[in-house]
Amino acid sequence: MLKQYDVSQYEYNTAQADIQSLKQFFDERDSWENPNKYTVLEYFPPENSVNYSPTVYNITNLVITDIEDDIVICDGYLDKEDVMLFNNMIDNDIIYNLNTFLMDNIIMIGMDEEQITISFDYGYIRIYY
């Protein structure tokens, strides 16, 4: 049975502390000598959607590059597109929910031995590692 940790369950732990913990987790695994690959599933169905399919993509060396004004900015190498996540948003106008998101919209962050789930009131981002 997988052990799941809801790091948001503790009173002293805020979304900001949760994000800082995730930032540290990704920073520790960030290496081009031994790259870490992640599969990201984004589930944000439009209202009244019947046939919605989540967005799934692979990313190498995912990092949280900045936290500014409660906005979390993520980056990493998108294998399929052959571009960095942030550059894909700036240069190609292709936006994933993982690019930037507001800490105020986070309901909880859960983590177990193989995945991280960031839940929002309108969907979630699941990161498999």
pLDDT value of position 48? 86
- Assign 107 a pLDDT band (cuts: 50, 70, 90): very high
Q: What is the pLDDT of residue 97?
A: 96
Residue type at position 68: E
> How far is 86 from 99, CA to CA, in rounded Å?
6
Residue 11, pLDDT score = 47
pLDDT, position 16: 82
**pLDDT confidence bin for 6, thresholds 50/70/90:** low
Residue with tokens 């900015």: 73
**Tell me: the pLDDT tens digits for 29-67?**
999 999 999 999 999 999 888 899 999 999 999 999 999
Statement: residue 2 has pLDDT above 50: no
**CA-CA distance, 69 to 2, in Å (whole number)?**
35
Counted domains in the chain? 1
Q: Give CA–CA dist 115/129, Å, rounded.
A: 6
Higher-confidence position of 5 and 108: 108
What's the first-to-final CA gap in the chain, in angstroms? 17
**Domain limits at 24?**
5-128
Gyration radius from the chain CA atoms? 15
